[in-house]
Structure 1
Amino acid sequence: MRTTRSVSKKLAAETLPTQPKEVTRATKSSPPKTNDGHYIVVNGHKWRATDPMVPDDALAELKHFLAKGRSGARRQNKHDPEKLQLSRKTTGLAKLGLGERGKPEWWNDTDKGRKERWKNALIQLRELYSDNNST
């Protein structure tokens, strides 16, 4: 039986550009991207890139929530199903707001749709944490 990781590697290998010049070079702050800018490439895997339309202040807040969700799911929440669920929901909403999840993909969406996606994600994340009295 194949694991998801091995299938992902195979799909990434099949869909990665065949010529090196089709992937931009990595900088210290970002991994290489495909020429169209829709995906980043990390260890041979293609991952959907963050929507470049998200403004810097919203981007910083969404990344804050993403880090909060990931660290929460990784550490203390393994034995607390409610906290684990909150962490996973936080991660999912942050990735949705960043354009890294959801349909349509950010490059196939309208400017209005892209703006609504990150704004709605931030509203939901703020409400989620105000309801839980956590910051």
Structure 2
Amino acid sequence: MPTYPGTPDGRYFVVKGQLWRCSNPSLPEELRQQLVSELMSARREVRQAKSAEDDSRLKLARARVQASKVALGERGPVWTTRLTMARTGLTASMCTSALAQVWGNCTLT
């Protein structure tokens, strides 16, 4: 996998001149892997829904992608540092709330 240059603050990386937000480095590795797996599954579902020209399936799949990216910290509120997370009371378990909105009360396995 190629390595892309990052910004000095470590929040973004650059691909073809465009900034992309990095995943939140404060997420526990096991949770991050589960979220990445969900993201990849959702992206595959988007591709399949497009091939099947199924608009309702596509809408749900895109919602899964969005929820996964928010949970990873790549979209939504900008993540900062562990200190800021501690001050605001944010925990790793709260990062899955976006996924819970799409899937209901669920646990990632």
Normalising by the smaller structure, the TM-score range is 0.7 to 0.9
Larger Rg: 1
Q: Structure 2 vs 1, CA of residues 41 and 34 (structure 1 numbering), >3 Å: closer, same or farther?
A: same
Correspondence for 2:95 = 118
Normalised by the length of structure 1, the TM-score is 0.63
* 5+ long unaligned stretches in structure 1: 1-27
CA-based RMSD of the aligned residues comes to 2.8
The Cα of 1:68 is off from its aligned counterpart by 1.1
* 5+ long unaligned stretches in structure 2: none
SS in 1 for 2:45: helix
Correspondence for 1:32 = 5
Normalised by the length of structure 2, the TM-score is 0.76
Note the 1:50-129 alignment, pairs <5 A: 50-74=23-47, 76-78=48-50, 79-103=53-77, 105-107=78-80, 110-111=85-86, 112-113=89-90, 115-124=92-101, 127=104
SS in 2 for 1:46: strand
Higher relative contact order (CA 8 A, sep 6+): 2
Letter in 1 for 2:98: A
Corresponding residue pairs, total: 102
